[in-house]
Amino acid sequence: MASKFLLVAKREYLTRVRKRAFVVLTLLVPFIIAGFGVLVGKLALSDDSAEIVDVRDASGLNIAAKLVPLSTPQLQFVPVEGSLPEAKQGFQQKKHAGLLYLPAGLDVQDPQGVQFFGKGNISLKKESRVQKALNDAFAELKMQRSGLNQTQLDQLRAKVPLSSVSLDETGKEKDSNSGVTTGIASVLAVLIYFFIFLYGVQIMRGVGEEKSSRVMEVMLSAVKPFDLMMGKIMGIAAVGLTQFLLWGLLSWGASTVLVPLLMQDELGKAKTEMATAAPKDAPTTVADQATASAEQMNPAKRANVIGSAFEQASKLNIPIWTILFGFVIYFLGGYLLYGALFGAVGAAVDDQTDTQQFMFPITMPLILSYIVGFSVILRNPDGPVAFWMSMIPFTSPVAMVIRLPFGVPAWQLALSIGLLVVGFVGTVWVASRIYRVGILMYGKKVTYKELSKWMFYKG
């Protein structure tokens, strides 16, 4: 039994990894991703050039002078003179991003009538930046009118540095970084979700193709249906792990070498443009901010950050080995659980178009865990929703890997893995009962009622 099962798994593995499509896809995907990253980076750099907003201040409150120091590398405020029609004409001729008009008689306590003119419909991002600068300028004006000087204003604007410290059960303290843990959780959830779908569908299509070509009839003369199904599932799982490992290595190489090399010229241009885009009378800090902003976009620096992620994780309270162990366990457990169901669906139907009616109820828990994971579990990884979804076998592969970077009690992890194993065994039993009947069933329209009968057929 074991030897036949391994023979089927070996056949599935070697047949798929030797295909030209597998080799081409494995080699090209990392470079396609790197190329896509370069394209996005170039578009982001070209679209993040500094924009200039003219400020016509007729209020007599000297708001324009307070807006200039609030300029950013992306948005510069430039005071202009003349009437409102002249200011409108000027900003259109100079092709600036907009015109901010502060009317005469503006009340500091209730500043009504301020207008922002732009070409066409103004984007929400640009409007929000102008709105924030206005709020800061009026807040400063109100504090000055209350009798505070600039030194006192600077003292009032306190920035409190907050250090996050994680305290474990033994009382040991370690640094914590919510951004890093959230990023790791998001990446793990996406990988689990898409790989279960990708390789689960491969099982379904592979079974369907062999059934339609009547190859199954020959194979079943030497191998039991259960061994055949499990061999196909495990063989494709090995293919998935091989491809995933190769993608990871090639993607790392492409992102650390290829992307910085292709983006070098664009980064130099962006740094120069952003540093010189500030008005001549703007503070020098704006140009400094522009240079720093361009430096932050450097993919080489980002690659170095990615390369040192493991080292940083060891310094923070991130259970890196638990995450790696959990990812492998939940990837395999989730794949095996859903793969058995996908295989049963492929065996039950004759036409691949009929699989849609059976796929939706199967994949609904996986889709639900993905949506709830990003909307609820990431915000509260220790809440009741996160706990119960990480215990249910159909949702735990996604839900638990989201929780792992935040730290999960050992008993919860053990219970979740145990329930996943039980769920996998139960799912395989159900799938094998459907598989053994459906694999040799031809020309009959399958319904849910018919599937329920197949589960209890003897023999």
- Which pLDDT tens digit goes with each residue over 290-341? 444 444 444 444 444 444 444 555 555 677 788 888 888 998 888 888 888 8
Pairing of strands 115-117, 75-79: unpaired
pLDDT, the chain, mean: 75
Q: Are residues 145 and 188 in the same domain?
A: no
Helix (H, G, I), strand (E, B) or coil at 158: coil
* b/e per residue 90-125 (b: at least 16 CB within 10 A): bbeeeebbbbbbbeeebeeeebeebeebbeeeeeee
pLDDT tens digits, one per residue of 368-422: 998 998 888 888 888 899 999 999 999 999 999 988 888 888 899 999 999 999 9
**In terms of residue numbers, what domain contains 236?**
2-32+176-454
Do residue 320 and residue 441 come from a single domain?
Answer: yes
Number of domain units in the chain: 2
Both 243 and 294 in one domain: the answer is yes
Alpha-carbon distance of 10 to 14, in angstroms, equals 6
Instruction: Give yes or no: residues 271 and 376 share one domain.
Output: yes
Does residue 162 lie within any of the structural domains? no
Whether 98 and 208 share a structural domain: no
Would the pTM count as exceeding 0.85?
A: no
Q: What pLDDT sits at residue 174?
A: 52
Mark whether 317 and 243 lie in a shared domain: yes
Domain boundary (119, 152, 185) is at 152
On whether both 226 and 365 belong to a single domain, the answer is yes
In a domain, 165, yes or no: no
Question: Residue type at 192?
Answer: I
Which ranges of 148-258 does DSSP label H, i.e. alpha helix? 150-156, 178-212, 215-219, 225-253
Residues 16 and 120 in one domain: no
For residue 159, being part of any structural domain is answered with: no
pLDDT given at position 287: 46
Among 112-126, 162-176, 385-399, the least confident range: 162-176
Pair type for strands 75-79 and 98-102: unpaired
Residue at 128: amino acid letter? S
- The phi and psi torsions of 446 (rounded to 5 degrees) equal -90, 135
Cα separation, 147 vs 4, in Å, equals 88
Q: What is the pLDDT of residue 393?
A: 92
Residues 345 and 415 in one domain: yes
User: 2 falls in which pLDDT band (50, 70, 90)?
Assistant: low
Rounded distance between C-alpha atoms, residue 390 and residue 333, angstroms: 13
Selection from 117-126, 190-199, 254-263 with the highest mean pLDDT: 190-199
42 inside domain: no
Q: From CA 255, how far away is CA 219, in angstroms rounded?
A: 44
3-state secondary structure of 308: coil
351 and 393 within one domain: yes
Top mean pLDDT of 267-281, 309-323, 422-436 is at 422-436
- Residue 418 is predicted with a pLDDT of 93
Please report the pLDDT score of residue 388 as a whole number: 93
| Cα(395)–Cα(377) distance, integer angstroms | 12
Answer yes or no: is pLDDT of 81 > 70. Answer: yes
Q: Are 324 and 291 in the same domain?
A: yes
